[in-house]
Amino acid sequence: MRGLEGKVAMVTGAASGIGRAAAWRLGEEGCPVAAVDLNLSGAQETVAKLASGGCALQADVAYLSAMQEAVAEAERSLGAVRILVCCAGWDKVEPFVESTEATWERVIAINLKGVIASTRAVLDGMIERRDGAIVHISSDAGRVGSSGEVVYSGAKAGIIGFSKAVAREVARFGIRVNVVCPGPTDTPMLQATKEANPRLAEALVKAIPFRRLARPEEIAAAVAFFASADAAYVTGQTLSVSGGLTMA
């Protein structure tokens, strides 16, 4: 894809699943990648297989100060962060009426506040340079709702609203913000859902017109597109990569 070679990317949630696949895809496109995750050893494994080099950083996306430190460290090691991909996420599948306030707070802190804090942390540098591409990972759950993932669906819908609004504010600085909504994707997160509720996992596959889960690299392809110069005139958009599960 055009315009990615040599651009430093920061990917949160890069120790696993979609974040790891996004890091590797951007690496194949020539981006040095700062792989950020709570799970440092997983992030280090991701970096070890990066085609274009990078660094592994441990940070909790839910805290602005932690993300500001991560950006500063990435810039010391690799240079100015030109691309941000927010993949860190967490979910607990259970009926809403059985979920606790502590779970709501954790779901919102990681999935929604994490995207807000990560975005805020890269924006000063991007505004100064008048250049940047930000890709947020939401979910089809945020577009159409998903039973058993009620607060998560709310947090993921929040990402879409936040992304559109921030895209409007920063467009004049040449910064683009777009959202990828994966459908059910074969990652450790989905594995946990399958183990907790095998019937739900089967039902999910039946509901997908392609009758299979997404592979993480299929989500990463959409991330690379939004990050690249091929999407130079695209901002504030939401793309579902979900085998036809949602069509809108």
Ligand X SMILES: NC(=O)c1ccc[n+]([C@@H]2O[C@H](COP(=O)([O-])OP(=O)(O)OC[C@H]3O[C@@H](n4cnc5c(N)ncnc54)[C@H](O)[C@@H]3O)[C@@H](O)[C@H]2O)c1
Of these residues, 152, 176, 190, 224, which one is catalytic?
152
Closest approach of Cβ 25 to ligand X, in Å? 13
CB nearer ligand X, residue 32 or residue 89: 89
Q: List the beta bridge partners of residue 181.
A: 240
State which H helix or E strand residue 107 sits in: helix 101-108
Coil, helix or strand at residue 100: coil
Closest approach of Cβ 176 to ligand X, in Å? 20
CB nearer ligand X, residue 8 or residue 61: 61
Q: What is the dihedral of CA 237, 240, 223, 159, to 10 degrees?
A: 60
The Cα–Cα gap between 169 and 93 comes to 34
* 152 counts as catalytic: yes
Q: What is the DSSP string of 44-98?
A: HHHHHT-TT-EEEEE--TT-HHHHHHHHHHHHHHH--EEEEEE-------S-GGG
Closest approach of Cβ 130 to ligand X, in Å? 28
CB nearer ligand X, residue 110 or residue 121: 110
Helices 114-129 and 150-170: crossing angle in degrees, nearest 10, is: 10
The Cα–Cα gap between 135 and 125 comes to 16
The Cα–Cα gap between 191 and 173 comes to 40
Closest approach of Cβ 42 to ligand X, in Å? 6
**Which tokens hold the place of 167?**
């895209």
The Cα–Cα gap between 48 and 175 comes to 30
CB nearer ligand X, residue 4 or residue 88: 88
Name the residues that contact ligand X, by CB under 6 A: 12-13, 15-19, 37-39, 42, 60-62, 87-91, 110, 114, 137, 139, 182, 184-185, 187-190
Closest approach of Cβ 90 to ligand X, in Å? 5
CB nearer ligand X, residue 29 or residue 60: 60
Q: Which residues are catalytic?
A: 152
